[in-house]
Amino acid sequence: MSKCGCTCSDAKEKQLQEIIEKYKNTEGALIPVLHEAQEVYGYLPLSVQSKIAEGLNVPLAEVYGVVTFYTQFSLYPKGAYKIQVCLGTACYVKGAALVLNELQKELGIEVGKCTEDGKFSLDACRCIGACGLAPVIMINDDVYGRLKPEDVKGIIQKYKDMTE
């Protein structure tokens, strides 16, 4: 249990303190803590970063520096459906850029952004290892392969229908 002394009113905060406690004495603790904190919160807002800085006793500037260096860490919340478009080489030479364009058009957002209703976020990623199915996209944990730009509409519609 944490002995942080603060009012750990909400469950997430308690989890965060436990994570910090677990790694406190490990060398190079910051990155594992950030990974696990992001799993709890879904992203790493400044408020979470400053708690980590305090807990691990490192300057906030260093925490922020690390968070912004690595693409896995996000300062902004992601959509309920996280869409990742593989722009690895195998996918690229098979037309992944066209699929990405279509997705941007269909969702009306740019890469790295989230739709206003919070349903979809769109990111580019590197090889997810399904090159045999190139080009591929991933929506949360589902992989869609051998895509053509015209397949995009139907796939997005499926997710839109699911939430309604």
Of 5-13, 43-51, 65-73, 111-119: span binding another protein (CB under 8 A): 65-73
CA distance 83 to 90: 19
Our CB check for ligand FES shows the closer of 24 and 146 to be 146
Q: Among residues 31, 127, 139, 155, which is the contact residue for ligand FES, using CB under 6 A?
A: 127
DSSP string for residues in 109-134? --TT-B-TTSSEEEEEE---S-GGG-
CA distance 93 to 96: 7
- Would you call 7 exposed, middle or buried from its count of C-beta atoms within 10 A (0-12, 13-18, 19+)? exposed
Q: Which residue is nearest to ligand FES (CB)?
A: 88
- How far, in Å, are 69, 81, 93, 111, 119 from residue 140 at the CA level? 23, 6, 24, 16, 12
Q: Among residues 130, 137, 138, 156, which is the contact residue for ligand FES, using CB under 6 A?
A: 130
In the bound complex, what is the minimum distance in angstroms from residue 125's beta carbon to ligand FES?
Answer: 8
Our CB check for another protein shows the closer of 45 and 129 to be 129
CA distance 126 to 28: 26
Our CB check for ligand FES shows the closer of 93 and 162 to be 93
* Residues within window 135-154 making contact with ligand FES, judged by CB under 6 A: 136
- How far, in Å, are 15, 77, 154 from residue 19 at the CA level? 6, 20, 41
Our CB check for ligand FES shows the closer of 56 and 143 to be 143
Q: Amino acid letter at 131?
A: C
Q: Does 129 bind another protein (CB under 8 A)?
A: yes
Point out which residues bind ligand FES (CB under 6 A). 86, 88-91, 127-131, 134, 136
Where does this chain bind another protein (CB under 8 A)?
27-32, 34-35, 62, 65-66, 69-73, 87-90, 92-94, 125-134, 136, 142-143, 145, 149
